[in-house]
Structure 1
Amino acid sequence: MRWITFDCFGTLVDWRHGIRTSAELIVPGQGARLLEAYNRHEHVVQAESPTMRYRGVLAESLRRACEEEKVELGADDATVLARTLPYWPVFPEVGAELSALREAGWRLALLTNCDRDLIAGTRRRLPVPFDAVVTSEDAGAYKPSHAHFELFRSSFEPEVWVHAAQSYFHDMEPAHRLGLPRVWINRHGARPADPSIVPHVQPDLRGLHAAAEAALDS
């Protein structure tokens, strides 16, 4: 049984586009600035409140971003991210690459820092079905905690397992600590703190089947 697990937002779905354009709906012209501020706060909120539902994390992180940037946020505007999340766009190469993995005999799973109801909306937009999903709601924690990985392992007992994700902090570091073969989808050309943690790197999902095979062989 060959499994490849993915993070969803940032890896398969354009998370930055979703945050930026959603912020523009409530504070026009401020989307890019709020996106960068949001990035500074989300992992802090998750670490402070690991059992908070993700819709709560989205709202609290946006509130803190607006406070930091001195942008006024309406009373119910903080819910905009959870309301728009099911419509955030899937990266264009995802369908073909996931289909190629399926045709090659891989099973697909999501390990996502998201709620069950929110990821259900996103799954309707993903062009290929997934065989399993582990959410932060299931795990009772947010990555980079190992809880998602441990729950997946205990539930499915994968004999062959590769993890592919965009986030170095949330995914590559814990996958490394757990000794998992891994492929870093480095969509933003980031520089890793420790390049040895990410021996297999590519800018998007194109050619992921070959990269996954190489990760298994290394």
Structure 2
Amino acid sequence: MNLADYDVLSFDCYGTLIDWEVGILEVLRPWAQQAGSRLSDDELLAVYAVNEAQAQRDSPTALYPRILADAFARTGGTLGIPVSAEWANKLGASVPEWPAFEDSADALSSLGESYKLVILSNVHRDGFAGSSRRLGVQFDAIVTAEDVKAYKPADNHFDALD
């Protein structure tokens, strides 16, 4: 692949530029510890990931905070640990606080000198706004699940690029 053949680069954001695992664990870990669970971070994330994917399939037009809260409740059900509305809402509101990977801002700044930068993300506009501040660049386009009324891997995000 010759990058000189391209004018635009598109990125998924969470897991690529923003460390969603650390962000989610900042809520899941204390909840699990408070309940006396001995699950590792990897075990918590594995159970959570299955439930988030199912929540997205079940409610493709729901805003991401609701998906997070629903996935958290499902995770609690899977693990037999109740999730209060307070915990669920805390996770739902956490996206703007999720940290960027250490090299994301510099890499995007460098790439932005030669390419238009586009985000394709499974979050909502307000959540991405917080992440965007952490990344420190101006994106040329942002396509969220809120915009296309679907969650990847559905084609809606990619169709919006046309």
TM-score by length of 1: 0.65
Q: Determine which structure has the larger strand proportion and give its number.
A: 1
Aligned to 1:9: 14
Q: Structure 1: 5+ residue runs without aligned partners?
A: 154-218
Aligned to 1:178: none
Aligned to 2:3: none
Answering whether residue 35 of structure 2 is matched by residue 26 of structure 1, we say no
Verify the 8 A CA contact 1:14 1:89 in the aligned structure 2: yes
Answering whether residue 41 of structure 2 is matched by residue 36 of structure 1, we say no
Verify the 8 A CA contact 2:60 2:151 in the aligned structure 1: yes
Q: CA deviation at 1:26?
A: 2.9
Q: CA deviation at 1:67?
A: 1.0
Aligned to 1:91: 101
Instruction: Provide the identity percentage.
Output: 38
CA distance in 2, matches of 1:5, 1:90: 17
Q: CA deviation at 1:31?
A: 6.7
Q: Give the alignment's Cα RMSD to 1 decimal.
A: 1.6
Q: Find the residue that maps to 1:76 and give its secondary structure.
A: helix
Q: Determine which structure has the larger helix proportion and give its number.
A: 2
Aligned to 2:58: 48
Answering whether residue 141 of structure 2 is matched by residue 132 of structure 1, we say yes
Higher relative contact order (CA 8 A, sep 6+): 2
Q: Find the residue that maps to 1:109 and give its secondary structure.
A: strand
Q: CA deviation at 1:41?
A: 1.2
What is the one-letter code of the residue matched to 2:67?
V
CA distance in 2, matches of 1:54, 1:19: 13
**Runs of 4 or more consecutive aligned structure 1 residues displaced over 3 Å after TM superposition:** none
Q: 2:156 aligns with which of 132, 147, 152?
A: 147
Q: CA deviation at 1:133?
A: 0.3
